[in-house]
Every structure is written in structure tokens, then in C-alpha cells.
Structure 1
């Protein structure tokens, strides 16, 4: 047995039956819902509770990240959009036209995260436009987190349904 057969035996390329895929999915959405525009959400809750310096730190961190997101979007947003669309289209074609399960799994991870990325950009623009601070900023960040969690729940549901279908379909073919 050569080295690549050993690696593929160790790492099951059938993604939906692989425990690591589901761990990555859970960690990805847990992280995405905890970090709102690059700010840990517990900081938003602490700022709401105590105010003062923590609130000022929150506003400063949000301002830095909003400026960073918007700078990148203005500088190379169209190129990034084109590359993301190319990669997602390639994954769809490989996954569903050529029936490559690994591409399906990567698409089911990447597409919802691209929606979260668009949501990040939209929220950053709203914060900059409305010059939010204090309670308005905390409300906007909480709303952003809620939308991210909704996208995550829908993504996990769709991925679980598709994964179960794939495992049952492959199991039925194997018998």
C-alpha cells in the first residue's frame, strides 16, 4: 500500500460519514455566532451590563473592524466577489453535476459563510452610515448575531438532511 492510499484510508473522503466534517461544521458556526464583526459577543453583553470603559472599548473595536471591512470591500470588493462566485460555482458543478461528495460538503460549508460575509459587509455599512454607538450599536450587533445564528441553523439543517440522504443512498447502493 502506498502513502496516498494510507492517507485516504485514514481520512475518509466521504465527507458526510466523517466525524471530522461534523465537528468542523459545529465549530465553524459556533465561532461565527460568537464573533460579530470581529468582536466577541460577550463583550457586547458586558458593555450592556456595565457600560463605561468596556462600552468605549466595544465602540473602538467595532469602529476598527468596520473600517477594515469597508476598506477591503472598497479596494478589492469586486475582485473578491468574482473569486467567491467562481469558487462557489465550481463547487456546485463538481458536487452536483460530477457527483463529488467532497465538493458538496465544502459548498455546504462555504455558501452559508459567504452569506454571513455579505451580512458582515451590510452591517458594517449600516454602522458607518448611521454612526451608531451606545445602545443603537449594541442593538445592531445583537440583530447581526441573530441573523447569523438563523443562517447557521438553516445551514446545519440543510447540511444534515443532505448528509443523511447521501449516507442512506450510498448505504442502499452498497447493500
Structure 2
């Protein structure tokens, strides 16, 4: 038995039994909840604690990211939606009909992010139309962060359940 086959036998390269998949899942949701509409969480807290220039920077960054998101959706929103739906449908078919585990893993990473994107778009449009400032804007972004964390918690739970099911069924049934 060669060196590489020993390594691949020691490190299972399937998605749900691979440590790297779970690290990617954790980092993905940590980043998604840290960057709310492209504004880092620490910037929101700094604006809340210090005010002044930190508050101005926070409002400017929020305004820039909201305008950017609204512009991208206005220019290519239908194409982005169609592409995302096609990609998620293809991953769902490959993963759950044809039982390709890598496609299942990518679907379980991407599908909840689709809802985060829709939530972010809704928030960006609301912020663009209402133009909140100060405490109201901070409160809105913090609430948005909680919603993203709730989606992430459900996504991690469902992914963990499916991953355990896959690992147990492959161990028992030998698929």
C-alpha cells in the first residue's frame, strides 16, 4: 500500500465525515453573522459605544453597502436569482436524487445562504427607502444579525443531522 493511499484511508475524503467540511461550515456562518450587509459587527458596537466619528463611519459604510447591493440587484437581480435557483436545483438533484454526497454538502451550505441573501436584500431596500440613522440603524442591523444567526443555527442543526445520517447509513449499508 502506497503512502498516498494510506493517507486517504486515514483521512476519509467524503464530505460529511471530513473535518474540513465542518470547519468550512463553522467559518461560513461565523462570517455571515459577523458581516451584516457588509458592515462588520465590531463597527456597529464601536459606533454604539463611542459615537462621533465611529458613528459617522458606520452610517457611511452602511449607506455605501446598501447602495451597492441595491444597484447590483437593480442591474442583474433577475439573472442572479435565475442562476442561484438553477445552481441550487442542480445541486439538490445531484445530491438527493443521484446521491452524490459532495452535491448534498454544497446544497446544505448554499441553500440557507440563499435565504440570508434574500433577507439582506429586503433589509437593504428598507434601509434605502426609510434612511434610518443612529440608534435606529444600529438596532435594525443588530436585529438583522440575530435573524442571520437563527438561520445559521437551523442550517447547522439540519446539516449535522443529515451528516450523521449519511455517516451512519454509509457505515451500516455500505452505499
Q: Same fold (TM over 0.5)?
A: yes
In the TM superposition, what is the alpha-carbon distance from 1:10 to its structure 2 partner? Answer: 8.7
Report the counterpart of residue 151 of structure 1 in structure 2: 151
Report the counterpart of residue 106 of structure 2 in structure 1: 106
How do 1:120-159 and structure 2 match up within 5 A?
120-159=120-159
Q: Does 1:56 align with 2:56?
A: yes
In the TM superposition, what is the alpha-carbon distance from 1:123 to its structure 2 partner? Answer: 0.6
Q: Deviations over 1:65-113 (max 9, x none)?
A: 0000000000000000000000000000000100101000000000111
Q: Can you give the 5+ residue segments of structure 2 that lack an aligned partner in the other structure?
A: none
Q: Deviations over 1:17-74 (max 9, x none)?
A: 0000000000000011011111111111111111110000000000000000000000
Aligned Cα RMSD in Å? Answer: 2.0
Q: Can you give the 5+ residue segments of structure 1 that lack an aligned partner in the other structure?
A: none
Report the Cα distance in structure 1 between the residues aligned to 2:68 and 2:7, rounded to whole angstroms: 39
**Which consecutive aligned stretches of 4+ in structure 1 deviate over 3 angstroms post-superposition?**
5-13
Length-normalised TM-score, structure 2: 0.93
**Cα distance change of structure 1 residues 90 and 144 upon mapping to structure 2, 3 Å threshold:** same
Q: Does 1:90 align with 2:87?
A: no
Q: Does 1:40 align with 2:40?
A: yes
